[in-house]
Amino acid sequence: MVSQRNGENGGPKARGRPRDWHDKTAQNTIKSLDRAMGVFEYLSEAQGKTLSQIADEMRQSPATVYRILVTLETRGLVEFENREQLWHIGPRAFIIGARFLRRTSLVDRARPVMRKLMELTGETANLGVEREGQVLFLSQVETHATIRAFFPPGTLSQMHASGIGKALLAQMEAGRRNRLLATEELTAFTERTITDVDALLEDLLAIRERGYSVDDEERNMGMRCIAAPVFDFNGEAVAGISVSGPASRVSAAETDRLAKAVTAAARELTLAIGGEATAP
């Protein structure tokens, strides 16, 4: 008797995706859905746009964009501001994003660790992971200081100019890291941004050896960040935790003290998610 889990040829039946799930060619994509998701993603990055602005900037017809927006509006993913005639991302988008965060216990486990880190250092604590070659910030505990860094959940940042990004790159398997660096442009955000691959690799080697990274005004002038990797049970770096703030407070003189606090927090979170803490 053939099990119901088997396919017609007796092989395991795909329970969540078809046999050719890896085929991303046009025959396996829905063009209208892909176009709608493009509008949705664009609006999420460019809040408050008129219909004509969206159509012009995305090079789509106003009629097509309007149908997409109305469809998304019925789902609560976008909303229309009648007074200014502007379209915005909708509340349902936040709900769906929050469900993604709840998929793993990482964020929940990180909150008390981040809160303690913020109180200990007096600076904003951040949690981020790598997603498609960028840092995705998942959570933040802000300092009470007037001048502070701000990375709301969902913010994306290029890895080479991010404390968390460099901490993760330093731990990444060499082949994957090299492929990523070969396809990503090392954008210069400030005069301190490392844009040379060899110089970046040298910095990553030093980061791996000491166990923490420093974003020394490489993303924003006047702001510094110190980050360390968080490991899972396989010993792989799955996230990064950091403190960030103005260079006047997160200064070179304070680096050792802050780095000890950050690496201790990363080790605590590693153990909290069942990971294996590794020494530099």
Q: Residue 273 above 70 pLDDT?
A: yes
Which CATH number does the domain housing residue 57 bear?
1.10.10.10
pLDDT band, residue 5 (cuts 50/70/90): very low
Whether residue 34 is found in the same domain as residue 123: no
Residue 262, pLDDT score: 98
pLDDT band, residue 218 (cuts 50/70/90): very high
Residue 48, pLDDT score: 87
Which CATH number does the domain housing residue 231 bear?
3.30.450.40
Residue 136 domain-assigned (yes or no): yes
The percent of residues in the chain predicted with pLDDT above 70, rounded, is 86
Among the three residues 94, 127, 144, which one is the final residue of a domain in this structure?
A: 94
Whether residue 124 is found in the same domain as residue 198: yes
Distance CA 226, CA 244 (A): 7
Question: With helix as H, strand as E and coil as C, how does 174-220 read?
Answer: HHHHHHHHHHCCCCCCCCCCCCCHHHHHHHHHHHHHHCCEEEECCCC
Whether residue 228 is found in the same domain as residue 108: yes
pLDDT in tens, 223-242: 999 999 999 888 999 999 99
pLDDT band, residue 100 (cuts 50/70/90): low
Residue 3, pLDDT score: 40
Residue 30, pLDDT score: 86
Distance CA 245, CA 124 (A): 7
Mean residue pLDDT of the chain comes to: 87
Whether residue 58 is found in the same domain as residue 127: no
pLDDT band, residue 7 (cuts 50/70/90): very low
Q: Residue 85 above 90 pLDDT?
A: yes
Question: With helix as H, strand as E and coil as C, how does 125-184 read?
Answer: EEEEEEECCEEEEEEEECCCCCCCCCCCCCCEEEHHHCHHHHHHHHHCCHHHHHHHHHHC
Whether residue 83 is found in the same domain as residue 152: no
Whether residue 216 is found in the same domain as residue 241: yes
Residue 163 domain-assigned (yes or no): yes
48 versus 224: the higher-pLDDT residue is 224
Q: Residue 41 above 70 pLDDT?
A: yes
Host domain of residue 133: 104-272
